[in-house]
Structure 1
Amino acid sequence: MHSFGNSLPGCVSTAEGEGCMSFEERVVRALGKQRADRVRAAARQLMTLADHDAQSTQAVVHINVPLHAHNAHEATTELANLLNAAAPDETWTFVTISHPDGTWTGKASPFMQDTSRLGSRDWIAHFALSDLHMRLAAWRLTQLWRAAELAEQTVESLGCWRLLVAAACSRSLLEGAAALTHETTLLHQAWDTFKQAGPPTTASLTQFSADLNNRLAKLQYASRVGQSSGRPPVLQSTNVMTYINKLAKNTTTVDVLDLYEWLCDAVHPSFGSATTYTVLRASDRPKTHAIEQYARHPLQPLAASGYAVQPTVAHAAADALVLAAEVVHNSLSLVKWTMDDIGLTAEIQSLNRLPYAGSSDQPPQRSDPCPCGSGRKYKRCVHRWGQPGTPPPAAEQ
């Protein structure tokens, strides 16, 4: 008769705030040293990014105000009267917009700086793109926070050999990374095309900002809650397998579908879940029967057996985290670049009195280092209408 110890591997931390970034020897042996080093480094990278970035932000959505006016003068007067009646003590910046069908609308903000030298098209650009700038900043941060939290919990669970939790967190992280890289590419391509077309018109600005704000709204608020009861949400989220398949198609370093299938199998009541408690499978010499050994806390007996059963779920969780961390890092860098390019091209990064991640107190001066991090002076960088919306190569100042 065999007996197994019930001790759990301890979660050891070697630095304050680092969490379970240090694995005990049994965990390192189960994962393999190279895999253990990679997964800890990947998680640490995401956690460090999140710790060093903004810890909060805010966003404003400026809503179109329908007007009864028939010309520019009437529209300006009507909107001014509405604002004065609603908030007479507030300082408003506003713009009125005519539409092809002859109607007029307005947008107003108590947050924008009063810069009366700007023309109407500039103001339309500011209203159209400032909302997008703030929402991109919020979306980027929430994606970073989510990835860092899931990565931290995956590594902590691996360190404590709670493989079901590790698999669930790593699976969610991989799904998020797959969605993030696809949607980031689409957002960036849309901005690149719009920017290269040159100085925008009122109509193109209105359409572009509406399209991208709608896409961001779907990324932030889409759901599948209620679908099974016949009450589908207004914004329905994309099936996650669409994103996973696209990531698999574009990844050559690992088998994304195999990793994902193992993680799904682990969190479902199926074979993958059962393997997380399996210590040993062995048959006797005359082949009359086989012995299977299970343990609630399997790491100690698994080590004692010489790791006779490969911890496939643990390996999948670790490898998925490493891949997801790389994808998230690259995608968020592109989001940051796109956000900075929008802000600098439209000159809105210092326009709002409302502080948010990605805003600045003052616009850059011509000879200042460009805030985008290209290494160029601002006057020599690419933040101009008609220029590509892609990051420039590093250049000498």
Structure 2
Amino acid sequence: MDKRSGITEAVAKGLGEARTQKLNALARHVQELQILTAEAGTVDLLSVPRTGRDITRWKSLAAQGGEDWVYVTYADKNTVLALDEPSEIGMRNQAAAAIYPELHTRMVSWWLVHAWRSIDLLEDTLDNIWRWRISSGAVTARAAVEEAGALVDEAQKLAKAWSIGKAAPAEELKRPKTVRDALAPALLHASMGSRLTGSHAKLQATNVLTLVKKLSKTSGNPRFIEWYDWLSDAAHPAFGARIAYSSLPLVHDSGAVTVRYYARAPLLLQSDTQQKTMESTIALTVADSIIAAGQIIVDVLNHSLALVDDVGLTTGAATLTRRNYWRNLSPVRGSRACPCGRGKWSQCGHRWGEPAPKAISLEDTSA
């Protein structure tokens, strides 16, 4: 047996059969996400409203370049929202073509970035666990918990916004504007929110502690707060980091002496009759938190991809532009298989006025 396989076997014994099975199941889900997204690439668009002289300049440049544009004029008659490279269909439905491809491409890139980041963090944490790299595991597991919190928060806001847009009345100009007014602010904050010094006051990213508390409440799993505290302590040069490679404390019956054992691999307590793996507080926290956070991430990514597809297929965004991007699915009709891959077109509900998909459907995430 080589050193790597020996450590893996010792880790499996230390974590126990139930945790090991959950970690292996999570690894399979991560692999499915990897297969889905590994070759994906996309582009997103951001339309900047033009006013006054900027409108004149835009029209002049478009004419000089012989470019095709679609645009919609705001109610004030002084503001224009424009988008280039419309399709023939888009040229005939300019309000929709000026708005829907922009919103859908931004939702697609939002989803892909979350998926790629989640895959990296989950794969790295799983690898750290099986290699008994507990210090690194605490750092990546902490980031994964934060990622789960951000994903849940943003997905819920986008789902709520799309439910408003999808219920908009069937008016050629009013419906696209209603959809953009609902979705654009949520997308802007999700893609550009930051805590950097000098970042815009209206685009301040949500504090991670707030996200963890929301995650705990939404998932019904109060342990996320406890896990996050331990992972943060272990990620920093603090007490948690000092005991990452130690056993739980063994206390003499008198209480006069406490003993911790330290090793670079899982510790075994051996007597004349048996061997028992000594539990590591940080290692078990890494394992339990990544199982719970990973389950949520996989669930929300699956549900929010359905949301992304519903926006694209309900609006027909891909048919309105000549640009190529990931998940640029085109609507079909009748009983044909839906391009979203979730059933027949007639059953998938990609129609105005139908209920919008939910962002999450969380089950018990306790490890």
Q: Quick check: TM above 0.5?
A: yes
Q: Please identify, of 146-155 and 205-214, the stretch whose mean Cα deviation from structure 2 is larger.
A: 205-214
Q: Structure 1 residues 67 and 28, CA, compared in 2 at 3 Å: closer, same or farther? A: same
Amino acid at match of 1:313: I
CA-atom RMSD in angstroms: 3.0
SS state at 1:105 partner: strand
Q: What is the SS of the residue equivalent to 2:317? A: coil
Q: CA deviation at 1:114?
A: 1.6
Question: What is the CA distance between 1:143 and its match in structure 2?
Answer: 0.6
- Cα separation, partners in 2 of 1:303 and 1:209, compared to 1, 3 Å: same
Relative to the length of structure 1, the TM-score reads 0.78
1:263-302 equivalence runs, <5 A: 263-279=231-247, 281-282=249-250, 289-295=257-263, 297-299=264-266, 302=267
Residue 217 of structure 1 aligns with which residue? Answer: 188
TM-score by length of 2: 0.84
1:164 aligns with 2:135: yes
AA aligned to 2:281 is: T
Aligned pair partner of 2:51 in 66, 76, 81 = 66
1:133 alignment partner in structure 2:
104
1:354-387 deviation digits (Å, cap 9, x = unpaired): 2211114x542444222233422x3554222222
Distance verdict in 2 for CA 1:285–1:217, change over 3 Å: closer
Q: 1:35 corresponds to which letter in structure 2?
A: R
Question: What SS does structure 1 have at the residue aligned with 2:237?
Answer: coil
1:333 to 302, 313, 336: 302
Of the candidates 4, 26, 30, which is equivalent to residue 46 of structure 1? Answer: 30
Residues 67, 162 of structure 1: alpha-carbon distance in 2 compared, 3 angstrom cutoff: same
Give how far 1:115 is off: 2.4
Q: How many angstroms does 1:141 deviate by?
A: 0.9
Structure 2 gaps of 5+ residues are: 359-367
One-letter code aligned to 1:303:
L
Change (3 A) 1:23 1:50: farther
In structure 1, the residue matched to 2:62 is 83
Shift of 1:203: 4.7
Q: 2:278, 2:61 → 1: CA distance?
A: 73
Aligned-residue offset at 1:318 = 1.2
* Contact 1:11–1:156 (8 Å) recurs in 2: no
1:3 is matched with: none
Measure how far apart 1:206 and its partner are.
Answer: 2.8
State which of 303, 323, 338 in structure 1 corresponds to 2:268.
303
1:161 is displaced (CA, Å) by 0.8
Q: Which of 193, 217, 224 lines up with 1:256 in the alignment?
A: 224
| SS of aligned partner of 1:115 | helix
> Any conservation in 1 of the 2:83–2:97 contact (CA below 8 Å)?
no
Contact 2:149 2:211 in 1 (8 A): yes
Asked if the contact 2:194/2:205 (under 8 Å) is kept, the reply is yes
Residues 1:147 and 2:118 are matched in the alignment: yes
**Paired residues, what number?**
351
Q: Provide structure 1 residue ranges, at least 5 long, that are not aligned to the other structure.
A: 1-8, 13-21, 70-74, 392-397
Distance verdict in 2 for CA 1:289–1:338, change over 3 Å: closer
User: Percent identity between the aligned chains?
Assistant: 26
In the TM superposition, what are the counterparts of 1:1-397 in structure 2 within 5 Å?
10-12=3-5, 24-53=8-37, 54-66=39-51, 81-85=60-64, 87-88=65-66, 90=67, 92-97=68-73, 99-110=74-85, 112-115=86-89, 118=92, 122-200=93-171, 202-203=173-174, 205-206=176-177, 208-226=179-197, 231-233=198-200, 235-252=203-220, 255-279=223-247, 281-282=249-250, 289-295=257-263, 297-299=264-266, 302-305=267-270, 306=275, 309-360=278-329, 363-376=331-344, 378-379=345-346, 381-390=348-357
